[in-house]
Amino acid sequence: MRATALGTALLALVTLTPTPAFAQGSGVQPRVSNGRVAGPLKRALTPAPAGAPRQTTLVAGMDSNGHLAGAVILTRIDSARHAVEILTVPSTVLLGGSQRLGDVVRFQGVAGVIGLLEHDLGLPVNHVLLMQLPQAGSIVRSLGGIAIANPAPVPYDVSGSRGVFPAGRVALTGRTVQWYLEPNERPVTIASDVRTTSIVARSSPSASS
């Protein structure tokens, strides 16, 4: 799938009332400050003035090596409509006509991804939120747990605990979220991309940079 096709998908997304996961902290309006990022990443972002009605945040998970883990999520918050629109961009999507997102991340970093997404989709990114996946347990614990829509069973065998996360709605705690991310059991029918994206999307307490 090419990124240009994803632009149309973003416009066709169902408008949602912001959930508590997104409303917590700064509410439907993301904090307008890029002071927490620097260098190429900060230069890749498009500054948004205070009170801008529509702002886009790139949300992604980072593994223990500092590499992007799986897909990225574009979250567009429209304060005028009190709406949140979400687009998941898989690591296999083609950017710039021929480059897979996963390869762009590997060689150009998150800043390169932001630049190509803006070029291909015409969608400026105003904020970035990078979630450290090794800290997923403490993040989920601080939220009091999360619930995800699990598309297929995920067997796990971790730390002496063995079982299966069933398809459908699954409640995860600070402990079991790590089992879901790294089940250590085969076969796993859901790609790591999908599992990671589910956790990142539900664990992001606010859209701020």
pLDDT at 6 over 50: no
**What is the C-alpha to C-alpha distance for residues 129 and 62, in angstroms, rounded to an integer?**
10
Residue scoring higher pLDDT (184 or 193): 184
CB 6 within 8 A of CB 87: yes
What are the tens digits of pLDDT across the range 7-46? 333 333 333 333 333 333 333 333 334 456 668 888 888 8
Per-residue confidence (pLDDT) for residue 37, from 0 to 100: 66
Closest CA to 156 of 136, 137, 180: 180
Beta strand pairing call for 83-89 and 161-165: unpaired
**What is the C-alpha to C-alpha distance for residues 207 and 139, in angstroms, rounded to an integer?**
15
**What is the C-alpha to C-alpha distance for residues 110 and 130, in angstroms, rounded to an integer?**
10
CB 24 within 8 A of CB 90: no
Residue with tokens 């702002």: 55
- On the question of a cis peptide bond just before residue 187, with omega within 30 degrees of 0, the verdict is yes
**What is the C-alpha to C-alpha distance for residues 90 and 3, in angstroms, rounded to an integer?**
10
Per-residue confidence (pLDDT) for residue 171, from 0 to 100: 94
Per-residue confidence (pLDDT) for residue 84, from 0 to 100: 83
**What is the C-alpha to C-alpha distance for residues 10 and 8, in angstroms, rounded to an integer?**
5
H or E segment at 130? strand 127-132
What are the tens digits of pLDDT across the range 171-184? 999 999 989 988 88
Residue scoring higher pLDDT (32 or 49): 49
Q: What's the mean pLDDT in 101-109?
A: 80
Helix (H, G, I), strand (E, B) or coil at 59: strand
H or E segment at 77? strand 68-78
For residue 189, what pLDDT band results from cuts at 50, 70 and 90? low
Percent of the chain with pLDDT over 70: 74
CA atoms within 13 A on the CB side of 193: 13
What average pLDDT does the chain have? 74
Per-residue confidence (pLDDT) for residue 187, from 0 to 100: 65
DSSP structural state of residue 185 = -
Residue scoring higher pLDDT (14 or 163): 163
**What is the C-alpha to C-alpha distance for residues 154 and 180, in angstroms, rounded to an integer?**
7
Residue spans in the chain of domains classed CATH 3.30.420.590: 3-132
User: 122: how many CB neighbours lie within 10 A of its CB?
Assistant: 9
Per-residue confidence (pLDDT) for residue 182, from 0 to 100: 85
What are the tens digits of pLDDT across the range 113-153? 888 888 887 888 998 888 888 888 888 998 899 999 888 88
Class of domain 3-132: alpha beta
pLDDT at 185 over 80: no
